[in-house]
Amino acid sequence: MEHGQYLFAGDNYDTPTDMRKSMLYRLSLGSRWYFYLNNFGVFARTGRCGRRGKLDKEHQIYYSNKNFRLVEKCGGRIHLRGLENLRAVSGEPVVLIGNHMSLLETALFHAVAREYIDFTFVIKQSLLAVPFFRDIMVSLGAIPVGRENPRDDLRAVLGDGKKILESGRSIIIFPQSTRSEEFDAAKFNSIGIKLAKSAGVRVLPFALKTDFLGNGKFLRDMGPVRPQRGVHFEFAPARPVEGNGQVLQQEIIEFIQSRLALWQAMDSKS
Q: For the segment 156-182, what is each residue's pLDDT rounded down to a tens digit?
A: 899 999 999 999 999 999 998 788 888
Specify the pTM.
0.94
Rounded to whole angstroms, the Cα distance separating 270 from 264 reads 10
The pLDDT value recorded for residue 149 is 75
Q: pLDDT tens for residues 2-53?
A: 567 999 999 999 999 999 999 999 999 899 999 999 999 999 999 999 999 9
pLDDT digits (tens, 9 = 90+) for 53-67: 999 999 999 999 999
Q: What is the predicted pLDDT for the residue at 3?
A: 65
The whole-angstrom separation of Cα 31 and Cα 74 is: 9
How many residues does this entry show for the chain? 270
| Per-residue pLDDT, 35 | 96
Residue 149 burial by CB count (10 A; 0-12/13-18/19+): exposed, middle or buried? Answer: exposed
Assess contact for 7 and 111: CB atoms under 8 A.
yes
Who has greater pLDDT, 113 or 178? 113
As a whole number of angstroms, the distance between CA 104 and CA 208 comes to 10
From 220, 190, 240, select the one nearest 127 (Cα to Cα).
220
pLDDT in tens, 204-240: 999 999 999 987 775 667 889 999 999 999 999 999 9
**Position 184 pLDDT exceeds 90:** yes
pLDDT at 180: 87
What is the separation of C-alpha 41 from the centre of its chain, rounded to a whole number of angstroms? 19
Please give the average per-residue pLDDT across 72-88, as a whole number: 97
Sign of the C-alpha dihedral, residues 247, 254, 113, 143? positive
Report the chain's mean pLDDT, rounded to a whole number: 93
The pLDDT score that the predictor gives to residue 269 is: 80
How sure is the predictor about 88, in pLDDT bands with cuts at 50, 70 and 90? very high
Does residue 259 register a pLDDT over 90? Answer: yes
| Cα separations in angstroms, 101 against 14, 184, 192, 256 | 20, 11, 17, 12
pLDDT of 1 higher than 70:
no
Beta bridge partners of 203: 95, 239
CB 201 within 8 A of CB 94: yes
- Given a cut of 50, whether residue 133 has pLDDT beyond it is yes
